[in-house]
């Protein structure tokens, strides 16, 4: 079975983790700050806060921006549920903005229309989470301009996008946002096994997120109410155990050294797919001129009017023939939990049309050209 995604672990990665295992610290040592600095330097952000998952990064980012009861967070319906759930963790409400049918990202046009209506109703969002789906940046310059006009904060959900660029600059530098979050799950561009990170250029946000990731506890005498001795600490906020381990960070530091190579390989695979799939009843992913995608995913859309099989049957037959295809994503508003909150089919038609046609085919840096040829041959066998 050729999976849709898979980590690439080198002997150097293994040795980096072994060195930590032989060291004095498995958690809260010097390697996590080293990993944070390596990511901050790479993306051009002033600060980086590593945590144990991308979901944790989203949660503390929302809290640091003051999201709470009575507030609204808007995001794309084509994302993993964590991009929306992070608002609910804070007691806020969630709404969605339909996608651009070309890029599959949150549509800036749809966002502007929704903001105009929300201003009249008094329901403007406090935060917009712009998800860089499949590794390709949203139209951040336009979203930022809208934020200046309508007064909302921006989180870039770059869980798919480390190694990508927007307008020639690395995704994650927060030129057009308050915070950018990354995920390092094994199927992502680089991995720390599990893990996440929040990058920002604002010291207050960084300090708040560092506090929140470790129970709200500080040893900083400048913010404590007193100091009884060298052992003393204070809990000054309600935080969480979201810390990243030294083992995860060591793997991350090692993986960062190969990040650019990973993305180059993915672009080679994307270019070959574009050629090899030409003439088949599929729509290949659009690449916007302003974005250099990290290419976490390669989602194709089936032209079902040219195929005698259903979406589900094609999916099943691809798996039966040895392709570990997947589907990214079921629109969040169609999940039963969110339908119980009042969302319904038809609310976001572009997202729903995309869902009815999409299949993610294998895309990872260990995918050889021979394996890629096998993938395309199986797709041909099933579709033609």
Equal CATH topology for 2-256 and 259-383: no
pLDDT score, position 11: 98
Domain 259-383 sits in CATH at 3.90.1150.10
pTM for the model stands at 0.97
Our CA angle for 27, 29, 35, nearest 5°, is 95
pLDDT tens for residues 21-43?
999 999 999 999 999 999 999 99
Are 182 and 252 spatial neighbours (Cβ–Cβ below 8 Å)?
Answer: no
Q: What does the CA dihedral 336, 338, 344, 348 come to, rounded to 10 degrees?
A: -120
Compute the distance between CA of residue 163 and CA of residue 80 in angstroms, rounded to an integer: 20
Our CA angle for 228, 229, 232, nearest 5°, is 75
Radius of gyration of the chain (CA): 21
Compute the distance between CA of residue 308 and CA of residue 48 in angstroms, rounded to an integer: 50
Domain 2-256 sits in CATH at 3.40.640.10
pLDDT tens for residues 189-232?
999 999 999 999 999 999 999 999 999 999 999 999 999 999 99
pLDDT score, position 384: 87
- Cα 28 to Cα 213, 227, 242, 246, distances in angstroms: 12, 22, 12, 7
| Domain boundaries, given as residue ranges, for the chain | 2-256, 259-383
User: Low-confidence residues of the chain, pLDDT below 50?
Assistant: none
């Amino acid at each position: 079975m050729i999976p849709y995604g898979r980590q690439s672990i080198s002997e150097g990665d293994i040795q980096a983790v072994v060195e930590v295992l032989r060291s004095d610290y498995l958690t809260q040592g010097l390697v996590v700050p080293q990993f944070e600095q390596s990511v901050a330097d790479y993306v051009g952000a002033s600060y980086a806060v590593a945590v144990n998952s991308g979901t944790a990064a989203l949660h503390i980012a929302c809290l640091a921006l003051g999201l709470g009861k009575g507030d609204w967070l808007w995001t794309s319906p084509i994302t993993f549920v964590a991009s929306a759930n992070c608002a609910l963790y804070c007691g806020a409400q969630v709404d969605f903005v339909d996608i651009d049918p070309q890029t599959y990202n949150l549509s800036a046009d749809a966002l502007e229309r929704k903001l105009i209506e929300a201003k009249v109703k008094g329901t403007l969002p406090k935060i917009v989470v712009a998800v860089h789906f499949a590794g390709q940046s949203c139209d951040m310059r336009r979203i930022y301009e809208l934020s200046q006009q309508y007064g909302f904060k921006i989180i870039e959900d770059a869980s798919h996008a480390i190694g990508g660029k927007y307008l020639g600059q690395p995704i994650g530098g927060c030129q057009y946002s308050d915070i950018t979050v990354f995920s390092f799950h094994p199927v992502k561009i680089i991995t720390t096994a599990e893990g996440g990170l929040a990058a920002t250029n604002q010291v207050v946000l960084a300090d708040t997120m560092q506090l929140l990731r470790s129970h709200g506890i500080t040893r900083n005498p400048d913010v404590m109410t007193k100091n009884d001795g060298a052992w003393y600490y204070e809990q000054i906020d309600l935080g969480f155990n979201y810390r990243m381990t030294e083992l995860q960070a060591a793997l991350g530091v090692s993986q960062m050294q190969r990040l650019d190579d990973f993305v180059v390989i993915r672009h080679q695979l994307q270019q070959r797919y574009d050629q090899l799939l030409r003439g088949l009843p599929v729509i290949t992913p659009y690449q916007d001129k302003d974005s250099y995608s990290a290419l976490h995913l390669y989602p194709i859309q089936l032209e079902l009017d040219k195929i005698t099989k259903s979406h589900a049957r094609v999916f099943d037959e691809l798996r039966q023939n040895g392709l570990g295809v997947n589907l990214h994503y079921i629109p969040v508003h169609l999940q039963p939990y969110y339908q119980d909150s009042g969302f319904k089919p038809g609310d976001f038609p572009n997202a729903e049309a995309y869902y009815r046609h999409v299949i993610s085919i294998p895309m990872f840096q260990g995918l050889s050209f021979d394996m890629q040829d096998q993938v395309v041959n199986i797709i041909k066998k099933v579709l033609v």
